[in-house]
Amino acid sequence: MIVEYPNTLITEFCTKVVKLFKKNNSIEPDETEDDQTDIFFNQNPQLQEEMFSILSPYVVDYFSRIGFTVLASWFNLTDLCVMNKTTGREIHFDNSLFLKNGKELLNPAAFLIFLNDNFNGGELIFPYQKTTIFPEEGKLTVFPSHFTYPHFVETADNNRYVMKAELTIKPEYREMF
């Protein structure tokens, strides 16, 4: 299930995160593609705590919509990444199971927040679900992070900033999923 939560972040917070991204462009960006820069804010505990606090009610709501009763405390905010891209992105799916520091982590859903919308294009498209997500500053989009939800991004005519939060399930709660 794909769920959109408009106005999750206020404009001032979105602007603050984009400014942090621009300021920290020297923090070993992960050049994933020719024109995409990803910057992970894992060494910014204040921003991570703030984002986890903001996302917690949406975590609970999203999983309740798909039939799971969860507590936000069952999750860790493993990665917090801001992506900047103008050209589209090929079809792909997000990993639901991955290794980090030798530990197997379960990431059941992707949490994407549009940090700006001052561009044309940049839509997030799920072809199999026949769903198009239109960018709106502050909008959170949550969807399963596995192969049944492949998606791609249309080209934007200006910088498109998106924050991706990877929330992984704490080991003691994994059997619930």
Q: For the segment 131-165, what is each residue's pLDDT rounded down to a tens digit?
A: 999 999 999 999 998 899 999 999 999 989 999 98
On the question of pLDDT at 76 being above 90, the answer is: no
Check: pTM over 0.85? Answer yes or no.
yes
The range of the structural domain enclosing residue 68 comes to 3-176
Question: Which strands make up the sheet holding 75-85, listed edge to edge?
Answer: 3-5, 140-144, 109-114, 160-169, 75-85, 36-40, 30-33
Instruction: Report, as an integer, the average pLDDT of 52-76.
Output: 93
- Give the number of C-alpha atoms closer than 13 A to the C-alpha of residue 146, restricted to the C-beta side: 8
pLDDT in tens, 92-134: 888 777 666 667 778 889 999 999 999 999 999 999 999 999 9
Domains identified in the chain, total number: 1
pLDDT single digits (tens) 5-16: 999 999 999 999
CATH number, position 14: 2.60.120.620
